[in-house]
Amino acid sequence: MPYRLVETPNGDAWVHLAGRDHSPQEISSFVLQKLEADTEVYPGEPVTQAVIAVSACFTDRQHQATRDAGQIVEPGVVRINEPTALALAYTLDQNRYHYFVVYDLGSETFNVSILEPGDGVFEVRATNGNTHLGGDDFDQQIIDWMETEFNLHTDRTAPQRLKESAEKAKQELSTVLQTSVSLPFITADAYGPRYLNLMLTRACLERLTVDLIERTVGPMRQAPVDAGMRPNDIDVVALEVGQTQMPAVQEMVRRFFNREPHQSTNPNEVVAVGAAIWAGVLAGEIGNVVLLDVTPLTLGIETPGSVMTPLIKRNTTIPTRKSQVFSTASNNQGSVNMCCRASAPVNPSVASCSMASRQRRVAYLGLRLRPILIQTAF
């Protein structure tokens, strides 16, 4: 990496730059500050709020980190899920779509969402995905291939240049059948500097990444089931910018849904356009638009025996509330400690597991009870 990571006392990873340690939220805020400054030039007025598109499978902690980054810059942050923003950009002025699927394979995360737009209401029916799968994994496969071909596994100075070349080669192979990777002075040995010069073909890239592409099939298969429909019920399949530019990804989506995937004429801008539309709705400049989103996580509390008791199941339309009666573990119990946990559909074996220790903790609450001699319901 071109920067150094440092561990904080609480175990977080910070970035050391220009003699200072910065949290990931601070790094994100630097980007927002630049965007804020550029935006203020056009209207000549200060920016007071921002709409940020995030992955539909973000956890509560990731949502909070996005909010914290915005608060550093000062404008209020409103979040919208990327698939919802994309659907807004595609269908705001069109009512011919009944069921709309967004296949979003970004740089770090993957999610697939099913939406039902109509009469100004955009309802998310289901979402599924993997927060540990994205375009960076495809880049890493190319990097590993280059390191093996050129024996660079022990050279610590090469990774960043390899990363940049891998991403460039991957993008080029979306439009051509082969490309050359040339890196002068990539390393040196006893005989002097060495030059990396390799030829990478689209067929080779597809062999390297076939397992990664297959990992998106499970969420694609589950999302229609969660929405109560079949893949053939889908009217349009939209590919979000990123790794979806890869022909092998497009072909896999085409075969699965049995229809041609749709891409915007400006794929790098379509999510930003959707976020801008939502900003217009919030500002009152665009009317008659309602978003109904879902929670991608199952939320519940930890009960005795280290078991997670689900309260709100994933793909429940939000906002929502759920109540359930529990009793204390023993008579005359003076307090109750409640641990709220969330399970995500990243790994089916984990998502379906009832053991609380395998689910992510999102909140902790302590309640003091009136001292009585019998078990108490709360």
Per-residue model confidence as pLDDT tens digits over 311-366: 999 899 988 999 998 888 887 788 888 888 887 554 444 444 567 667 888 888 88
Q: How far is CA 259 from the centre of its chain?
A: 25
Q: What is the pLDDT of residue 161?
A: 84
Cβ pair 303, 326 in contact under 8 A: yes
Least confident span in 46-50, 258-262, 329-333 = 329-333
Count CB-CB contacts under 10 A for residue 178: 14
> Using one digit for the tens of pLDDT, what is the confidence trace for 7-16?
888 888 999 8
Q: Report residue 156's pLDDT band, with 50, 70 and 90 as the boundaries.
A: low
Q: What is the pLDDT of residue 351?
A: 46
Cβ pair 258, 233 in contact under 8 A: no
In Å, what is the CA distance from 10 to each residue of 6, 14, 152, 331, 362? Answer: 11, 11, 34, 37, 17
User: E strands of the chain, at which residues?
Assistant: 4-7, 13-17, 20-22, 49-54, 76-81, 100-105, 110-118, 121-130, 178-189, 192-201, 236-239, 290-295, 298-303, 307-312, 316-318, 335-343, 360-368
Q: What is the token pair recorded at 281?
A: 């709705």
Q: Report residue 97's pLDDT band, with 50, 70 and 90 as the boundaries.
A: low
Domains assigned to the chain: 48-133+215-294 (3.30.420.40), 135-211 (3.90.640.10), 297-368 (2.60.34.10)
Least confident span in 84-98, 140-154, 168-182, 184-198 = 84-98
Which residue did the predictor score with more confidence, 377 or 118? 118
In Å, what is the CA distance from 168 to each residue of 7, 139, 182, 200? Answer: 31, 9, 11, 11
| For residue 92, pLDDT beyond 50 | yes
**Count of CA atoms in the C-beta half-sphere (13 A) of 243:** 26
Which residue did the predictor score with more confidence, 376 or 70? 70
Q: What is the pLDDT of residue 137?
A: 96
Q: What is the pLDDT of residue 349?
A: 42
The closest alpha carbon to 244, from 62, 103, 38, belongs to 103
Cβ pair 66, 54 in contact under 8 A: yes
Q: What is the pLDDT of residue 145?
A: 93
Q: Report residue 133's pLDDT band, with 50, 70 and 90 as the boundaries.
A: very high
Q: Report residue 216's pLDDT band, with 50, 70 and 90 as the boundaries.
A: very high
Pairing mode, strands 290-295 and 316-318: antiparallel
The residue-averaged pLDDT of 246-273 equals 87
Q: Report residue 117's pLDDT band, with 50, 70 and 90 as the boundaries.
A: confident
Return the percentage of the chain with pLDDT > 90, whole number.
Answer: 30
Least confident span in 88-102, 193-207, 229-243 = 88-102
Q: Any bridge partners for residue 192, and if so which? A: 189
Least confident span in 200-204, 236-240, 263-267, 345-349 = 345-349
Cβ pair 175, 146 in contact under 8 A: no
Which residue did the predictor score with more confidence, 119 or 354? 119
Q: Please work out, in degrees rounded to the nearest 5, the angle formed at the alpha carbon of residue 303 by the alpha carbons of 298 and 308.
A: 25
Which residue did the predictor score with more confidence, 173 or 302? 173
Highest mean pLDDT, choosing among 4-18, 87-101, 163-177: 163-177
| For residue 300, pLDDT beyond 70 | yes
The residue-averaged pLDDT of 182-201 equals 83
Q: What is the pLDDT of residue 94?
A: 59
| For residue 295, pLDDT beyond 50 | yes
| For residue 166, pLDDT beyond 90 | yes
Cα distance from N-terminal residue to C-terminal residue, the chain: 51
